[in-house]
A and B are shown apart, each in its own frame.
Chain A
Amino acid sequence: MDENLKAALRQAERVLGNKPEWLGFRKVREVSTTRYVRDGHPQANHSSVSEGVMVEVLENGQFGYAATTRTDFESLVMAAQKARSHALQGSRYPIHRFTVAQRPAVQGAFESDFGKSIPSAGELNELLVEICRKLDRPGPSTPPSTSKEPRPKIIRRSALFETIDTEAQFVSSNGSDARQNTRQVVGWFQATAQAGDVVQKRSDERCGQGGWERFNTPDLWNRVERVAEEALELTQAEDCPSEKLDLILMPDQMMLQIHESIGHPLELDRILGDERNYAGWSFVKKEDFGSFVYGSPFMNVTFDPGVAGELASYAFDDNGTVSTREYLIKNGILVRALGGGESQARSGLPGVANSRACSWNRPPIDRMANLNLEPGTDSLADIIASVDRGVLMKTNRSWSIDDFRNKFQFGCEYAKLIENGKLTRTLKNANYRGITAPFWRSLKKVGDPSTVEIFGATNCGKGEPNQSIRVGHSSPVCLFENVEVFGGAS
């Protein structure tokens, strides 16, 4: 533990004179690296070290904050004075009289698995260059079915690897003294293929807490080969049909579906209107918890920051609340909100430990962490076999949803037509649209544990001032009935 931060806190308490209702320091040091190669050439070899302290004061039932890059005693004391001044000004116009209960005392430490060590910058560049080289596959040697069509080729190859190492320490006047150290990694590659006027992309992304093994899986080179081949294949594919069909979503698209149409609408600060000037409100109302039929009985959703290796695992949130696994939706019924201590106090609803800030320079707000759809009992083969006519879609490429989180439209990179229980033709420009609750109520089958995969969103945006944060989502394969699917511009 950094004793200096605790000593600075004690010094600030003394200087502030009249003891504030609560004082807390959250120090964060985030070291990140980005290695990005396109078409065999390095585009970015970037690292960053962001370090500072968020000082928060509770005074007159109002929190005020002051964040600074200066970590010496004098500067932290000055920041505490500023934070107190802002708390006092704001307390004339309160939306709620907060208490120290919203900053529970917490002690302890959490460290994520750092996994296998990350290769050096030079070695990483070599590997990313090699991925680009292997993505550069020739098109099929036999001409496409109609020989007048141009031969497809790969026109762009990209590969990226990122690490984010975060050390956070939280100390407070009511005895908090906690530290969390995590390593998050993101690996991604993409091939763009062209045949005449048709341009299609295919990509692969892996992310999570851990080390090199998260990206460098035993099947890495098979994944690279598949991405290139499927990009080429898409240039020859027909457009997704426009009709209402059964829809199978693979986990790398379910991730986005969960994020946008479960995660965001269940954020309690959205339900309370904090976000309505920016990210938006929610169709969910406070009175819905405990009774609202969100989805079919196959739908079970958990908030679980305890899943090892998932992107947003932690032991306590940025306000000091100890995290626990909780059901948000059980057998289709909405039971609990994604709301931290402040939102719980304002709403009187049960919530979770999800007060999170993107870094030292932003105050915590209600965020997703790991938000997971629990597996069911059907194998992928059984799910496909159960569909007479439908579409299977993989890997998000387009996303849009309204400010109440109702009307969504999502697009996928790669799709397959399903006819008589079998995957048949490849489809390009596959999109679908729907309205959140009716869509989840059309959930017909949920894949068994063998179909579960863990993904995440690495740039979830929200908040004023804006904050981009990383969240995890695990999901099995799912089947939805009677969904409006459609194709591309042409």
Chain B
Amino acid sequence: MKPSLVPAVSRDYFEDLSKKAIGALGPNEYLFLVLDVECSQFVRFNKGVRQTGVIDDASVEVTLVLESSPGVLKRASREISLSGISYQDREAIREAVGILRVEVPGLPQDPFAELPKDPGSSTTVKTGNLLPTESVPANILDAVGDNVDLAGIYAAGPVIRGMANSAGLIHWFSSEFFSFDYSLYTSAQRAVKGIYGGSEWNDDDFRRSISSALQKLKLLERQPRKIGRGSYRTFLEPAAVGALIEMFSWGAIGESSIRQGESPLRWLRGGEKKLSPRFSLAEDFSRGQTPRFNQLGELAPERLILIDKGELAHSLVSSRSSKEYGVSGNAAEMNEALRAPSVAPGTLEQGECLGRLGTGLHVSNLHYLNWSDQSGGRITGMTRYACFWIENGKIVAPIENMRFDDSIFQLFGSNLEELTRACEFLPESGTYDKRSVGGVRVPGMLVSGMQFTL
């Protein structure tokens, strides 16, 4: 019987595939290989089990760079599925390189392409202690209980990211982890959101997560209040702050988006605007939950301050932007998106949040955010899940969901009163194409005004 994709696609296996592909390169040809592997269990719940199964997926992206004449680089890439069966994968990579070898000479010069470098290889292996595959539905549904309306997704198993190049570099990141992203519902369809994730499943911790969500759910049984349009003092829980921080990845913190006029942070660079001195944002890989290497094999700094006390300290700069704009790169991914965002904490104690809020809104989650005026820095989105109207520091009633439309220069600027001392790590549970790794580390945030429009 064949071994499954993990451990079949081991570091040695990847290195062997890479070396064989690199050994077959012609003169003036260079190669990058980027590996993605996962053996994932997914159980989707809607009261009971809606869908359940496993997905074994592996692929490698091969990028061929041709130096067609001195200093003139042309490049193309091809991603192919891998089987973990050596002779098949070697042949598939050989075929992919062959196709690229035919295609690349006919392409225009890419003035921002990079040749492979070897600044040093890395290996990160994180093993986990996950629930036995067969016991997942029972463990989760028994802990939640028969009378609780639950929906959610359990995702678990090993995820591998690898990278090699023809300069001899090889990076390997292997992590075994799980996430249970869930919500609990009242009979009136009001919900509390929770996420329990990590590398070590612990029944007690999981039951505490559910118990905490159930406590909150009771508050949602109260008669909801409809709030009119206007500006309200608002306390945003870490999950809501995390949703706002995600927008920095969407054409804001990248050097190319600043240079190309779409980012609202160009106003910070020009000095026309500032964010609050209480707001600092960094890329922080120190917790090791995200690979530090990018598609080219460059290693990002373990910690890079992006916004320092309201001022733009660094943007995320890929090697392409570095070449195009003549600035130093910081090993950002090509899309210059955040990979390990961390917002600096403030001084507000957890127990003081509602008291400091006084009267206003307590928002647990935000939903479906988008720029309503990107270059102007305005974001729209909805409140979602357990959001409450607060009077004199006390929870009065859940609110009906509301649309907000406000500027980052208000929310992270003039209206930012305080951030909480405690930060939460919110694991990334996204699974488009493949299971995401990492997450965002954020505190809660108190703002003196947030504009609600519908």
Contact = CB atoms under 8 A, between A and B. Distances in A.
**Co-assembled chains A and B:** yes
B220 interface: no
- Of the listed residues B46, B51, B155, B367, the one surrounded by the most CB atoms of chain A closer than 10 A to its CB is B51
A361 B59 CA distance: 12
A121 B49 contact: no
Nearest to B39: A68
Contacts of B378: 488-489
Interface string A83-115: 101110111111100000000000000000000
Contact of A89 (B137, B182, B369, B435): B137
- Of the listed residues A94, A192, A489, the one surrounded by the most CB atoms of chain B closer than 10 A to its CB is A489
B125 interface: no
A403 interface: yes
Contacts, number: 253
Nearest to A55: B53
Given A86-B52, A409-B405, A49 B78 contact: yes
Given A46-B76, A281-B189, A398 B108 contact: no
Given A93-B48, A278-B153, A192 B432 contact: no
Interface stretch (B16-24, B80-88, B158-166, B298-306): B80-88
Contacts of A404: 401
A122 B107 contact: yes
Contacts of A451: none
Contacts of A490: 376
A407 B401 contact: yes
Contact of B2 (A74, A272, A365): A74
B200 interface: no
A211 B48 CA distance: 44
- Of the listed residues B53, B84, B136, B191, the one surrounded by the most CB atoms of chain A closer than 10 A to its CB is B53
A465 B153 contact: yes
B108 A42 contact: yes
Contacts of B407: 489
Interface stretch (B348-356, B380-388, B437-445): B380-388
Interface in B78-123: 78-85, 96, 99, 103-104, 106-112
Nearest to A96: B48
A273 interface: yes
A407 B382 contact: yes
Interface in B20-70: 40, 42-44, 46-59, 61
Nearest to A30: B81
A315 to B, nearest CB: 25
A121 B107 contact: yes
A402 interface: yes
A434 B338 CA distance: 32
Given A42-B110, A433-B454, A75 B2 contact: yes
A63 interface: yes
Given A70-B85, A407-B382, A65 B51 contact: yes
- Of the listed residues B106, B152, B402, the one surrounded by the most CB atoms of chain A closer than 10 A to its CB is B106
Contacts of B382: 400-403, 407
A47 interface: yes
A382 B15 CA distance: 67
Contacts of B384: 402-403
Given A65-B53, A67-B54, A67-B55, A47 B78 contact: yes
Given A192-B261, A407-B403, A66 B53 contact: yes
A277 B153 contact: yes
Contacts of B49: 62, 89-95
A69 B53 contact: no
A361 B42 CA distance: 11
Interface in B353-381: 367-378, 380-381
B199 interface: no
A461 interface: yes
Contacts of B79: 46-50
A411 B81 contact: no
Interface residues of B, number: 92
Interface string B170-214: 000000000001110100010101000000000000000000000
A93 B138 CA distance: 8
A361 B38 CA distance: 11
Contact of A95 (B50, B106, B371, B435): B50
Interface string A191-209: 0101000010100000000
B431 interface: yes
B75 interface: yes
A149 to B, nearest CB: 17
Contacts of B141: 93
B430 interface: yes
Interface string B134-156: 10111001000000000111010
Contacts of B57: 52, 67, 69, 361
- Of the listed residues B2, B46, B371, the one surrounded by the most CB atoms of chain A closer than 10 A to its CB is B46
B368 A403 contact: yes
Interface string A116-131: 0000111001100100
A277 B151 contact: yes
Nearest to B110: A42
Given A121-B106, A489-B377, A489-B378, A363 B81 contact: no
Contacts of B183: 276-277
Contacts of A326: none
A274 interface: yes
Contacts of B262: 192, 199, 201
A276 B99 CA distance: 44
Interface string A280-304: 1100000000000000000000000
A390 interface: no
B80 A64 contact: no
B81 A51 contact: yes
A133 interface: no
B328 interface: no
Nearest to B405: A409
Contact of B52 (A51, A90, A277): A90
7 contacts: A49-B80, A65-B52, A69-B57, A69-B59, A94-B49, A278-B153, A429-B373
For the complex of A and B, list the 4 residue pairs with the smallest distance between their C-beta atoms, beginning with the closest: A489-B376, A122-B106, A65-B53, A464-B153
Given A70-B84, A120-B106, 20 more contacts: A49-B80, A49-B81, A51-B81, A65-B51, A67-B54, A69-B59, A70-B85, A74-B2, A78-B1, A90-B49, A90-B137, A93-B137, A94-B49, A192-B262, A199-B261, A398-B370, A401-B368, A409-B380, A464-B181, A466-B432
Interface of B: 1-2, 5, 40, 42-44, 46-59, 61, 75-85, 96, 99, 103-104, 106-112, 134, 136-138, 141, 151-153, 155, 181-183, 185, 189, 191, 193, 260-262, 320, 367-378, 380-382, 384, 401-403, 405, 407, 430-433, 435, 453-454
